[in-house]
Amino acid sequence: MSSKAGINGLLNLRSSSPATESDVLTSEFYHTHLMICNALFNLKGRVALVTGGGSGIGLMITQALAVNGAKVYIVGRSEEKLERVAQTYGKDQVNDGEIIPITADIIDKKEIARLYKEISEREKCLCILVNNAGTSGETFESSFDDWERVYRPNVGQIFFLTTAFLPLLQKSADIYSDYSGTVINIASVSGLLKTAQHHFQYNTSKAAAIHLTRILANEVASNRFKIRVNSISPGVFPSEMTTEGSGEDQRSYIPKDQYADKLPAGRPGKDEDIARAVIFLVVEQYIKGQNLVIDGGYSLVAGY
């Protein structure tokens, strides 16, 4: 039975004519078909933009989207790093996904405008925007300039990049039925905890990012945009920020036993943990303005 037949059957049920047994069976097939994983989590043909997609959590997100069929533009300042990711992970995608590098400094409004122009000339819409790029900072010895250097990418960039791309994100709802563009801001569980962890500016910037997500979600909804804004707060995951480096494959590694007794999960986060969270927020149309904590129980131990 074709999908067209299923849709026609559903339309018949909604008409004024009496429903037949065949109509009911067709409708049941249609709704059952929608529950299949491939239908629920289909990203084929979707266009995504991931900032900081060259390493760490950004790379995990990039791979998750691309391997499931999305065309993913990765943005960062290091052309060499981005090209290496595209060459290493952009080939032989099982669902025709792509990884396309674009070099840009997204804490500069002129660079954001240039990036928007380039994407809008290439694509009819943007379905997914992941604001992942960020930085940490000094521990105790810091200045006002140090705080600004952390807040520009961790908070300001989220605002300016998101607002710049609203028109292109809105167009995704016009092209794909029953779909709204999505913005996912990568915050941190550190933005929720009561402890400073020796990173005052980083932790407070992530708290600001979580609250900014709520504000943006409300403003976007109030202005009738068909765009969802949510955030993810990861716990301990391997990245250049947590391990102070990465290998030739752009990946960072944390020994499992390093957190065996420190986290309820008994391990640091894995690539697939981030992948599932991101794909869930990309496809779930009924979540707006929420913060999804993926921390292996870290916040249970550290406390809010």
Distances (CA, A) of 28 to 1, 7, 35, 118, 294: 12, 11, 11, 44, 35
Active site residue 30: no
Mean pLDDT of 156-177: 97
Q: What is the pTM of this model?
A: 0.85
The pLDDT, as a whole number, for residue 20 is 56
What's the angle, vertex CA 64, arms to CA 36 and CA 3, rounded to 5?
A: 25
Question: Which segment of 30-34, 72-76, 149-153 scores lowest on mean pLDDT?
Answer: 30-34
**Which of the following is catalytic: 30, 73, 202, 259?**
202
The pLDDT, as a whole number, for residue 6 is 44
The answer to whether 97 and 22 have CB atoms below 8 angstroms apart is no
Check residue 253 and give left, alpha or beta (phi > 0: left; psi -120 to 50: alpha).
beta
Mean pLDDT of 192-211: 92
Our count of domains for the chain comes to 2
Q: What are phi and psi of 57, to 5 degrees?
A: -65, -35
The answer to whether 294 and 186 have CB atoms below 8 angstroms apart is no
Judge if 156 and 256 occupy the same domain. yes
pLDDT tens by residue, 228-252: 999 999 999 987 665 565 556 556 6
Mean pLDDT of 51-73: 95
Judge if 133 and 259 occupy the same domain. yes
Judge if 15 and 124 occupy the same domain. no
Return all residues near 59 (Cβ < 8 A) that are at least 6 apart.
53, 85, 89, 250, 251
Q: Is the dihedral of CA 14, 17, 19, 25 positive or negative?
A: negative
Share of the chain above pLDDT 90, in %: 68
Structural domain including 298 reads 43-302
Judge if 50 and 89 occupy the same domain. yes
Mean pLDDT of 44-70: 95
pLDDT tens by residue, 260-288: 888 999 999 999 999 999 999 999 999 99
